[in-house]
């Protein structure tokens, strides 16, 4: 366990409500929520979708316009597929992935958006969003070790975000946790939602 992170227990109401949101039965709390994916979400990605190249924020046109309910459904399916994947620096598959690899892979496979490979490059894209405007699918950026922006996750809703933890792999965690709030850098929205 990292220094500064305390182990804690979640009240039964929180565990049941998070479980109900995700459609799963068991949640393990060890600083972050560690979840194992349900087998029904392990279908291979659709190869029929052609990736679109994301544009930089100085471009006057939107990155990609997509219906929010379709966006949410597709992204959620990919996120659930990768929950429980072990951490691997530079990885972009079920065998292992890092934080920016998770974001790049999920967006490419779910909605055909081809993002850059690193969190610093991803931070330069999209629309700047405030915490009050946060929606499912927005990218959350962090400075984890004090040497500049080096971590990214995807906001999942209800205060949760998915990211690739070096200790636990791809997991859901509470965005409002002090550990993440102290390291928070900013939010970007990649898709223009209708």
Is 99 designated active site?
Answer: yes
Catalytic residue among 151, 171, 187, 190: 151
Catalytic residue among 80, 104, 108, 163: 163
Cβ–Cβ under 8 Å, residues 128 and 186: yes
61-110 per-position pLDDT tens digit: 335 678 889 999 999 999 999 999 999 999 999 999 999 999 999 999 99
Of the candidates 44, 45, 14, the one whose C-alpha atom is nearest the C-alpha of residue 177 is 14
Is 76 designated active site?
Answer: no
Which residues, 6+ apart, have CB-to-CB distance to 122 below 8 Å? 100, 103, 104, 115, 116, 139, 141, 152, 188
User: Quick check: helix, strand or coil at residue 48?
Assistant: coil
How far from 149 is each of 142, 163, 186, 189, CA to CA, in Å? 6, 15, 10, 17
Residue 67 has a pLDDT of: 87
Catalytic residue among 22, 99, 125, 190: 99
More confident residue, 42 or 172: 172
Report the percentage of the chain scoring pLDDT > 70.
66
Is 34 designated active site?
Answer: no
- Domain 52-193 -> CATH class: alpha beta
Residue 187 has a pLDDT of: 98
Alpha carbons 88 and 145: distance in angstroms, whole number = 18
pLDDT for residue 33 is more than 90:
no
pLDDT class for 38, splitting at 50, 70, 90?
very low
Alpha carbons 24 and 35: distance in angstroms, whole number = 9
Alpha carbons 85 and 102: distance in angstroms, whole number = 10
Q: Any idea where the domains of the chain sit in the sequence?
A: 52-193
Residue written as tokens 């996750």?
153
140: left (phi over 0), alpha (psi -120 to 50) or beta: beta
**Residue burial 29-58, b: 16+ Cβ < 10 Å; e: rest:** eebbbbbebeeeeeeeeeeeeeeeebeeee
The mean of the pLDDT values for the chain is 77
12-25 per-position pLDDT tens digit: 333 333 444 444 33
pLDDT for residue 164 is more than 60:
yes
107-137 per-position pLDDT tens digit: 999 999 999 999 999 999 999 999 999 999 9
Residue 64 has a pLDDT of: 62
């Amino acid at each position: 366990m990292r220094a500064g992170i305390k182990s804690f227990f979640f009240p039964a109401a929180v565990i049941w409500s998070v479980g109900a949101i995700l459609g799963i039965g068991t949640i393990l709390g060890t600083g972050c929520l560690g979840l194992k994916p349900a087998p029904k979400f392990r279908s291979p990605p659709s190869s029929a979708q052609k990736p679109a190249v994301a544009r930089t924020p100085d471009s006057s046109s939107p990155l990609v316009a997509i219906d929010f309910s379709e966006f949410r459904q597709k992204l959620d399916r990919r996120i659930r597929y990768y929950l429980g994947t072990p951490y691997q620096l530079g990885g972009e598959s079920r065998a292992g992935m890092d934080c920016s690899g998770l974001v790049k892979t999920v967006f490419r496979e779910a909605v055909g958006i081809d993002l850059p490979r690193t969190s610093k490059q991803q931070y330069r894209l999209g629309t700047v969003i405030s915490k009050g405007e946060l929606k499912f699918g927005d990218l959350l950026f962090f400075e984890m070790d004090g040497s500049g922006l080096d971590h990214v996750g995807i906001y999942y809703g209800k205060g949760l975000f998915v990211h690739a933890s070096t200790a636990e792999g791809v997991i859901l965690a509470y965005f409002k946790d002090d550990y993440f709030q102290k390291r928070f850098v900013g939010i970007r929205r990649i898709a223009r939602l209708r």
